[in-house]
């Protein structure tokens, strides 16, 4: 069994114009001071991390790694959540996602999608140059507007949506394979890949591609009322990244899972800081240790109530205390006797002479 790596922290939710959150070096020093061992880096802000340079220059990557190492952290993964979203956008969301692309492409859906594919391929190369093993992203969505369909279910439409999604991602998956990096889709409502069924359907269509993997975030599964512990048993061989994020669902007489268009504090289901929600993290860390999860435990802080820096400080301690340092020995090894065949047969009351 393997001991999980961590804690790591996803920096996206903390980046701002205010020091220390306006530069990679100062954010890394802040994270290290809280007890984090790694940072998950977003790739859409060149002043924090320049993805184009990282894809082109081994020297730039070596410089970034050395700078972070001197501050006491390393990179757990790069993230292309925003760019991955643009690989597949239903027309209903054209305007909603325009801010994720360069301004020159915002009114050209085809050019924007091709740009997103090119960014993902650069992320594969950058990850390779940085010596990383996994990458975090979103799948985008073509079918999501019909997740609870009216008019009723249209199987041909879903077949077309998933076939197109697979066709768009297959060249990207091949680029990650060439780089030796696992591409991990965060299963998330709003994305076509949002649970085990949708991921499995996609996996079949990309011919069980070895780099098609999962970023496991239990908060999204709790809010979908899924068995998020059983999910690990089913999909552990594909889980290669892990967002440690809490959530709660408080049944209401007025609204349900979909939230009634309310702001986060008023919703029955909402994200919380670690330890403040309903997710069974003891069970999760036990399952991941049992199944030899090879990656990092990364805080993704999102809470509708608590202040972020407090959540980050508490999160480092929470993750550290939940990581199971796995034993190299069985607890009952002290009582083990020699495993000799003759002795074993004697214990079973069997004659050691072969029956003929």
Q: Which domains does the chain have, with CATH numbers?
A: 5-331 (3.20.20.150)
Residue 179 has pLDDT above 60, yes or no: yes
Locate 326 and state its tokens.
């796995």
pLDDT bucket at 356, cuts 50 / 70 / 90: very low
Contacts of 254 (CB under 8 A, 6+ apart): 260
Contact 53, 342 (CB under 8 A): no
Task: Note the residue count of the chain.
Answer: 356
Residue 355 has pLDDT above 70, yes or no: no
Helix, strand or coil, per DSSP, at residue 353: coil
pLDDT bucket at 106, cuts 50 / 70 / 90: confident
Lowest mean pLDDT among 173-177, 217-221, 226-230, 338-342: 338-342
* Alpha carbons 30 and 33: distance in angstroms, whole number: 5
Q: pTM of this prediction?
A: 0.95
Percent of the chain with pLDDT over 90: 90
* Alpha carbons 191 and 95: distance in angstroms, whole number: 17
Locate 204 and state its tokens.
């079949």
* Alpha carbons 133 and 211: distance in angstroms, whole number: 10
Q: Give the model's pLDDT for residue 354.
A: 55
* Alpha carbons 330 and 352: distance in angstroms, whole number: 29
Q: Give the model's pLDDT for residue 289.
A: 97
Contact 162, 204 (CB under 8 A): no
Contact 270, 258 (CB under 8 A): no
Residue 215 has pLDDT above 60, yes or no: yes
Contact 39, 71 (CB under 8 A): no
CB count within 10 Å of CB 297 equals: 26
Q: Give the model's pLDDT for residue 352.
A: 66
254-305 confidence digits (pLDDT tens): 999 999 999 999 999 999 999 999 999 999 999 999 999 999 999 999 999 9
Q: Is residue 6 within a helix (H) or strand (E), and if so which, with residue range?
A: strand 5-10
């Amino acid at each position: 069994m393997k001991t999980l790596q961590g804690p790591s922290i996803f920096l996206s939710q903390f980046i701002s114009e205010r020091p220390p959150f306006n530069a990679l070096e100062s954010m890394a020093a802040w994270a290290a001071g809280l007890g984090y061992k790694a940072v998950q880096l977003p790739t859409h802000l060149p002043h924090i991390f320049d993805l184009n340079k990282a894809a082109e220059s081994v020297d730039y990557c070596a410089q970034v790694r050395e700078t972070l190492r001197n501050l006491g952290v390393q990179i757990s993964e790069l993230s292309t959540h925003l760019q991955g979203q643009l690989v597949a956008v239903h027309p209903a969301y054209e305007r909603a996602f325009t801010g994720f692309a360069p301004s020159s492409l915002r009114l050209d859906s085809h050019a924007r999608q091709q740009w997103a594919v090119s960014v993902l391929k650069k992320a594969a190369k950058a990850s390779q140059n940085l010596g990383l093993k996994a990458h975090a992203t979103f799948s985008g969505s073509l079918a999501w507007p019909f997740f609870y369909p009216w008019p009723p279910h249209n199987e041909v439409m879903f077949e077309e949506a998933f076939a197109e999604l697979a066709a768009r991602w297959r060249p990207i998956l091949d680029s990650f394979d060439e780089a030796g990096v696992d591409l991990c889709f965060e299963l998330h409502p709003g994305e076509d890949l949002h649970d085990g069924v949708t991921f499995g359907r996609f996996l079949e269509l990309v011919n069980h591609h070895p780099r098609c993997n999962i970023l496991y975030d239990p908060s999204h599964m709790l809010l979908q009322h899924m068995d998020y512990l059983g999910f690990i048993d089913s999909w552990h061989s594909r889980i290669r990244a892990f967002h440690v994020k809490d959530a709660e669902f408080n049944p209401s007489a007025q609204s349900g899972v979909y939230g009634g268009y309310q702001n986060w504090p008023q919703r029955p289901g909402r994200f919380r800081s670690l330890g403040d929600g309903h997710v069974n993290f003891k069970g999760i860390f036990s399952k991941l240790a049992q199944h030899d999860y090879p990656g990092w435990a990364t805080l993704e802080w999102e809470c509708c109530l608590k202040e972020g820096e407090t959540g980050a400080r508490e999160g480092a301690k929470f993750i550290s205390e939940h990581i199971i340092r796995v034993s190299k020995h069985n607890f009952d090894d002290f009582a083990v006797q020699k495993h000799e065949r003759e002795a074993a047969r004697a214990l079973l009351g069997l004659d050691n002479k072969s029956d003929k």
